[in-house]
Amino acid sequence: MTQGKITRKWEAFPGQNRFYCNGRLMTAPHSGVFLLTVFLITGTSALFFIFDCKYLAENVTVAIPIIGAVLFIFTMSSLLRTSLTDPGIIPRATNEEANYVEKQIEVTNSANSPTYRPPPRTKEVLVKGQTIKLKYCFTCKIFRPPRASHCSLCDNCVDRFDHHCPWVGNCVGRRNYRFFYMFIVSLAFLAVFIFACAIAHLILISKEDSRQFLDAVKESPPSIIVALICFFSVWSILGLAGFHTYLTTSNQTTNEDIKGSFTSKRGQESFNPYSQGNVCSNCFHILCGPLTPSLIDRRGLLTESYMAELARPITTEPVLPMKPYPIQNMNGPTHITMNANEMPGIYRQTTETTESNAGSVTHLVSSEQPLAIASTVHQMSLAQQQQYKSQPSLNLGRAHHAHHHHYHNVTSSSASAAGGSSPPPPPRVHKSQSLADNLNSEDLHLDAVVLGQQNKFVGSSRLDNDMTVQDRENSLLSANRLRLLQDTTMIESALDLDSLDDSSLGTNSQNGLMKVMV
Amino acid sequence: MSNHHNNGARASETEQMAQSQYLKVFVQRDYSEGTVVKFQTRFPPELEGKLDRQIFEGTITRLNSYFAEAEKATCSTYCEGCLACLTAYFIYICKETHYEKCLKKVSKFIAEQNERMYEPRGLKLTDPSMRGLRVLEISCLDRPPNV
């Protein structure tokens, strides 16, 4: 909608990722656990550097703070790289590519191949002699390349998908696996190092004065906190580091390992076709091999053609008919003016039938076209009235409610204005009387509030109405929706146009109401 | 298409029509040698009569060799990776990787091929890195879609 503002491609990115620094950094949607990770690591390290390092540097060696700092910087750098870079997202297919792939599927269908069944959303390819099944991704409109998988949290296909790690707040895939692995390994080292240093600190204190260990703890409580945090976390980190070392040496991903993709089953020989051959080359290839550049051009300039190329349901799907009406409600005084402008016509239409449910529905429908030109509203509500009279009142709990509001509104305004004369025929007369008496702003205010409520009910009963409204009206309504959808400023200008029809140029509600009533 | 009533897409609708006014052919990836980027050399039947097989195959082979070079495990790429690791990956902030250089070569090659071979024949290649290295897109500029 705000196309003028969007300049970079990341702003139109179809996945769930968040972007920072104008697209330079990206991460997965929920980063709470990631912040916890950062807090735990920095907090523990800070305690260690403040309380333990000073003592150890003075009494043991200066190397301890240096090693600690290097490990810490490396860990944080790897962590931030893992979580703030593109994990290897495969961009979604353009409309045309998706259509082409779709056509190819049809062709293979008609070929009557036994391996492809009616909705053949998988494709089999041979990778170094091993049969690999490629699944079709309905979101990205592509056959996922081998080893890729769709991350439901980020809503992207990620190449060489390992897993989505909440601790680092990102997917782990082809592009950031090496960072992730180095993060895990360096964190394991850091945790062991800090744990060892903290314990050494405590032992040295107790040795120094030949006291009990507990006394040493009392003297330096941060050390024991640091030691405990490290003690409890180091096991899982070491386990993870070991597991990922095994995966790296065998060139597998967590995803493939869990699924057991390359384990021999039912006597069938199965091997990992992606393996480089031996442990060393696997490690080198994964950790130091060529690094694929990011394929999503996040910082590229967003062009019209790029927007058009993307098969994106967000922009291509029509915004549902329910939407525009709540928007109106939010829009404040001008809207109320607008509705008020149309109120006279509506009152005239419904006064005879206010006792029946059908009447209230008519009222709802007619007040529901705030952007329509006044004369057409008049005609339409006549037509609708006929329709709704024949309509059985099924759903009218809500409508009845609305009807009450409306009725209450009418009686109260008439009571205040004309001193409780019998309800309706032309309430317009009452209104002009009230204007003649004196413009009662409170009365007007009451009017406005009730109108707002009515609008809400209109919004909720919108679907039922939509089904029975005639084609002509439908087209008019859709024209209204189009205008409503433009954006807020357009709505306002549309309103102004319509108020011109009622010879009302007012911009605030009171002004508008006054002119209507005259 | 249901988006005809939606004004949000209205601006891009005309653009979209302009985009799809010609036939597009997509050369898919060849995974027979693993996940290295390699495109199928099978000649797409849609291009029959518009393009010589030799030209097409020559382009694809050259393209594949560029990608093979980008992903080849040579000593220099390993050194680059190790160096990056030793600098805690700070080197990536200021230095272009080997792969990025190769992708630039690919873009240059595509542009050159377009100019010399494809555009005179009413065809146009799209840089595969614009399509996520998934497909090589060939547009037939003088043929309507759905032929």
Mean pLDDT per 10-residue run, chain A (518 residues)?
66 88 89 93 94 90 94 95 93 86 69 52 85 89 91 92 93 94 96 94 86 85 92 94 94 89 71 87 91 87 73 40 39 38 36 36 34 40 44 40 40 40 42 42 39 40 41 47 38 32 36 37
Of the partner residues A90, A147, A178, the one whose CB lies closest to the CB of residue B134:
A90
Of the partner residues B3, B8, B89, the one whose CB lies closest to the CB of residue A78:
B89
**Average pLDDT, integer, range B42-54:** 88
- pLDDT at residue A75, as a whole number: 96
B22 vs A146 pLDDT, higher one: A146
- pLDDT at residue A9, as a whole number: 86
Q: Which residue in B has a C-alpha nearest to residue A79's C-alpha?
A: B88
Q: Which of A165, A197, A230, A283 is catalytic?
A: A165
Is A288 in Cβ contact with B89 (below 8 Å)? no
Is A276 in Cβ contact with B132 (below 8 Å)? no
B146 inside domain? no
Mark residue A179 as left, alpha or beta (left: phi above 0; alpha: psi -120 to 50; beta: remaining): alpha
B123 inside domain? yes
Is A285 in Cβ contact with B132 (below 8 Å)? no
- pLDDT at residue A123, as a whole number: 84
Is A291 in Cβ contact with B99 (below 8 Å)? yes
CB A251 within 8 A of CB A286: yes
Integer-rounded Cα radius of gyration of chain B: 19
Is A274 in Cβ contact with B6 (below 8 Å)? no
Of A497-506, B49-58, B99-108, the least confident? A497-506
Which own/partner pairs from A387-391 qualify as long-range (CB within 8 Å, at least 24 positions apart)? A387/A468, A387/A469, A387/A470, A388/A358, A388/A361, A388/A362, A388/A468, A389/A353, A389/A356, A389/A358, A389/A362, A391/A358, A391/A361, A391/A468
B10 inside domain? no
B5 inside domain? no
Mutation for testing the A interface, residue in B14, B16, B46 having most A CBs under 10 Å? B16
To the nearest whole angstrom, how far is the Cα of A424 from the nearest Cα of chain B?
A: 40
Maximal C-alpha separation, chain A: 103
CB pairs under 8 A between A and B: 151
Q: Which residues of B touch A127 (CB under 8 A)?
A: 31-34
Of the partner residues B5, B12, B130, the one whose CB lies closest to the CB of residue A478:
B5
Q: Which residues of B touch A128 (CB under 8 A)?
A: 32-34
Mark residue B34 as left, alpha or beta (left: phi above 0; alpha: psi -120 to 50; beta: remaining): left
Is B134 in Cβ contact with A95 (below 8 Å)? no
Q: Which residue in A has a C-alpha nearest to residue B96's C-alpha?
A: A293
Is B6 in Cβ contact with A317 (below 8 Å)? yes
B16 inside domain? no
**Average pLDDT, integer, range B114-140:** 90
- pLDDT at residue A85, as a whole number: 92
Any catalytic annotation for residue A230?
A: no
Q: Which residues of B touch A158 (CB under 8 A)?
A: none
To the nearest whole angstrom, how far is the Cα of A334 from the nearest Cα of chain B?
A: 23
CB A340 within 8 A of CB A512: yes
Q: Which residues of A touch B73 (CB under 8 A)?
A: 276, 281, 284-285, 289-290
CA angle B25–B30–B36, rounded 5-degree value: 120
Q: Which residue in B has a C-alpha nearest to residue A141's C-alpha?
A: B134
B103 inside domain? yes
Question: Exposure string (b/e) for A228-257, b if CB count within 10 Å is 16 or more?
Answer: ebbeebbeebbebbeebeebbbbbbbbbbb
Q: Which residues of A touch B24 (CB under 8 A)?
A: 96-97, 100
Mutation for testing the A interface, residue in B35, B99, B100, B147 having most A CBs under 10 Å? B35
pTM equals 0.65
Of the partner residues B9, B70, B80, the one whose CB lies closest to the CB of residue A315:
B9
Distances (CA, A) of A239 to A174, A243, A280, B72: 22, 6, 21, 32
| Average of per-residue pLDDT values in chain B | 82
Q: Which residue in A has a C-alpha nearest to residue B35's C-alpha?
A: A146
Q: Which residues of B touch A142 (CB under 8 A)?
A: 134
A116 vs B74 pLDDT, higher one: B74
To the nearest whole angstrom, how far is the Cα of A285 from the nearest Cα of chain B?
A: 7
To the nearest whole angstrom, how far is the Cα of A477 from the nearest Cα of chain B?
A: 11
Is B99 in Cβ contact with A290 (below 8 Å)? yes
Mutation for testing the B interface, residue in A316, A485, A487 having most B CBs under 10 Å? A316
Of the partner residues B16, B20, B97, the one whose CB lies closest to the CB of residue A291:
B97
- pLDDT at residue A111, as a whole number: 52
B60 inside domain? yes
- pLDDT at residue A108, as a whole number: 57
- pLDDT at residue B66, as a whole number: 94
Is A316 in Cβ contact with B3 (below 8 Å)? yes
How large is the angle between the packed helices A374-390 and A471-486, nearest 10 degrees? 130
Is B16 in Cβ contact with A308 (below 8 Å)? yes
Is B131 in Cβ contact with A485 (below 8 Å)? no
The whole-angstrom separation of Cα A404 and Cα A445 is 18
Give how many domains chain B has, as a whole number: 1
- pLDDT at residue A66, as a whole number: 95
Alpha-carbon torsion (A500, A502, A504, A507), positive or negative: negative
Range of the domain at B82: 22-140
Of the partner residues B31, B70, B90, the one whose CB lies closest to the CB of residue A77:
B90
